[in-house]
A and B are shown apart, each in its own frame.
Chain A
């Protein structure tokens, strides 16, 4: 039976009230997320510290967790570690682009990770923490590159208007005190690996296999998309006379052999080395096997602990270029 006019009016008002309350709750959540939860996140803290810099840098470190945890800028004269966990070449490119174009911070050498999994397609197109990355990544341009201008529309919407999407962990941490909040001091963007000693020798081998599979199983070890953005990074630096240091970070023997079961390491090494133009201002430093016999310097199968990071940074610094190209 069709609804009467007063009934229709009542329904319209009820629906309007329901939607208004929904929008209000959404706004409250956005504000809560941006102003309370986000402020304390590591990503935000490092970002904030970087944008507070008033002097130029000698060394800027970008890249994923290997660089984030493996290089201590406190050891370097005038360095800053702006790397972040899970960061792929797409993200690094846009972050670098932002630093070069939108900030006044200058630097002479860019340090990047150059690891076995750095080009693996397992992280190609993977964007987490969109609330943060949407301020850097040009999603429309990214879509255009693949021929689909609006391919990343969901990421744009989520990043800009629904920052709390899927952030249940952060809310639980805020309201129920679940999970550990990282309040350790941040020194030049660096905190260090926060789970020291998690991997004991007995569990190292299964853990190594698990991580190796995560990085390479069913994945293209050299993703074309990531290679494109890596070359763009090198070009940006080359055009501006910035040195680039590519670091192959130390890993455990177990991880190295587990990876060897999934990919042809030598072949992948050769392929990614070809992405670096000969005679460019780029230097590759290979420390991959450095701590095979000192595995107490690793916090897990492929990340250095703070002590390992300090030793590696000193060793790497000896080979860093000391002046502009």
Chain B
């Protein structure tokens, strides 16, 4: 089920109404059934994978807790890792490796005949496998007691607001909330609805409109030159931000109405002053997962310098690979790894240049410069992320000649003039709102404002979505991961 569908607009109020109507002790059953139903609307048989992953991790964690030695615990951790990563490998990466091996061996005239695995990629598999893995690793590390209640644990794995595209929640945060009795809170419902509306606005007004332009250009880059490629790349930066953060907002808002707090996944990432800061603001739940369960496990920065760089690079390479089995994602990850290593290596040089230019005298100008630079480094990465292949990415970069293609006939790709104006206007609204919230931590803080202001904001959002939205039920980009 898509958040941006009529079904969800019926599903959520029904679940909320039933949830607060029934006795608290039965609520987990309702939420679990609703979550499985939510998932099964997409492809019913794949629910077996979630159930399987849940049972294996529940069992592994309990066995781990009973084992006296770390060595004995490790066996069950490995079971969990193999089961979850195996699932991920089979559905997501097997064909990539299989095809790559076939291609390499073919060059040496070796016949390689292992057939591909032709199953549809289960939606959200990368999210829920990482979520359950965090649980078993935490139990192994002794940070978390194994959850006794199988139903609650199953709900933790499959909680519908964040099941298919995160945020990837930690068991230490979400499980205690699921175990608590939630009471209906009018203020929370208002805040939740506000977030949902804002998420919808970002998705159907901004992301889906930008997608038309981006798809038209990126699906045939050889037919475009100059401005359309540049505009499409800028548009994609905002498309992916609005698409993914929009999903996160709807997820967080939906959970909030039910009484649960999910973690923030985005905090104005395009206002970051360095790539390192960008990763603290973009897809935070994944960045923190990689930091806690991979980067620190392989030594983090508490090793010799070259190992530290290697650790950074490996983490970003794997982060890229997490997004998809394609060389484009690997290059994207490698590029960000390179940015971070380069930023460490050039710290003193940049400091010296800053001193020379008396940057401290103009802190705002310096900050603006850093934001623009970081944004463009990120944009370069998005070219690889969005391109259909590496050769397409290189075609796009080589044809981005800024002095060509500005004639309206060439610039308007897929969107009519007024649609283009709406697209640019809505991006401007987003940037202004993000800028206005620079001193706050939560989004769209309205509770302190007068009633007329809040209502005006609500009505603007509702009718902005209805009038300017594109109701084509486009899937969220991160569903494919």
Contacts and interface: CB of A to CB of B under 8 A. Distances in A.
B470 interface: yes
Secondary structure dominating the interface of B: helix
B172 interface: no
Nearest to B183: A2
Interface in B314-350: none
Contact of B6 (A153, A173, A199): A153
Contacts of A18: 455, 458
Contacts of B220: 209-210, 213
A175 to B, nearest CB: 11
Contacts of A29: 463, 467
A158 interface: yes
A178 interface: yes
Contacts of B186: 3, 11
Contact of B422 (A2, A153, A157, A172): A172
Contacts of A25: 459, 463
Interface in B198-220: 216, 220
Interface in B427-481: 455, 458-459, 462-463, 466-471
B13 to A, nearest CB: 14
B421 interface: yes
B418 interface: yes
Nearest to B5: A154
A93 to B, nearest CB: 24
B409 interface: yes
Given A21-B455, A178-B421, A154 B6 contact: yes
Secondary structure dominating the interface of A: helix
Interface string A159-200: 000101111110111000011000000000000000000110
Please classify how large the interface on chain B is, using the bins under 10, 10 to 19, 20 to 34, 35 or more.
20 to 34
B302 interface: no
Contacts of B471: 154, 158, 165-166
B410 interface: yes
Nearest to B469: A166
Interface in A1-47: 2-3, 11, 18, 21-22, 25, 29
Interface string B219-257: 010011000000000000000000000000000000000
Contact of A169 (B410, B413, B416): B416
A179 B422 contact: no
A318 B71 CA distance: 91
A168 B183 contact: no
A206 interface: yes
B422 A169 contact: yes
A319 interface: no
Nearest to B408: A198
A22 B465 CA distance: 14
Contacts of A154: 6, 471
A226 B468 CA distance: 30
A203 interface: yes
A164 B409 contact: no
A169 B422 CA distance: 8
Given A154-B6, A169-B422, A203 B409 contact: yes
B469 A172 contact: no
A210 B459 CA distance: 39
A151 to B, nearest CB: 11
Interface string B102-138: 0000000000000000000000000000000000000
Contacts of B458: 18
Contacts of B463: 25, 29
A169 B6 contact: no
B419 interface: yes
A164 B455 contact: no
Nearest to B467: A168
B225 to A, nearest CB: 9
Nearest to B410: A203
Contacts of B183: 2
B351 interface: no
A172 B466 contact: no
A206 B223 contact: yes
A96 to B, nearest CB: 27
A169 B419 contact: yes
B467 A166 contact: yes
Given A165-B469, A165-B471, A209-B223, A179 B6 contact: no
Given A165-B471, A168-B467, A203-B410, A21 B418 contact: no
A22 B418 contact: no
B466 A165 contact: yes
Nearest to B419: A169
A65 to B, nearest CB: 14
Contact of A22 (B216, B223, B459): B459
Contacts of B466: 162, 164-166
A168 B418 CA distance: 9
A209 B469 CA distance: 29
Given A154-B6, A179-B418, A168 B459 contact: no
30 contacts: A2-B183, A3-B186, A11-B186, A21-B455, A22-B462, A25-B459, A29-B463, A29-B467, A157-B6, A162-B466, A164-B466, A165-B469, A165-B471, A166-B467, A166-B469, A167-B467, A168-B418, A168-B422, A168-B468, A172-B418, A173-B418, A178-B418, A179-B417, A203-B409, A206-B224, A209-B220, A209-B223, A210-B216, A210-B220, A210-B413
Interface of A: 2-3, 11, 18, 21-22, 25, 29, 153-154, 157-158, 162, 164-169, 171-173, 178-179, 198-199, 203, 206, 209-210, 213
Interface of B: 6, 183, 186, 216, 220, 223-224, 409-410, 413, 416-419, 421-422, 455, 458-459, 462-463, 466-471
Given A164-B467, A166-B468, A178-B418, 4 more contacts: A25-B463, A157-B6, A178-B417, A210-B223
The 5 residue pairs across chains A and B that have the minimum distance between CB atoms: A168-B468, A179-B418, A169-B418, A168-B467, A154-B6
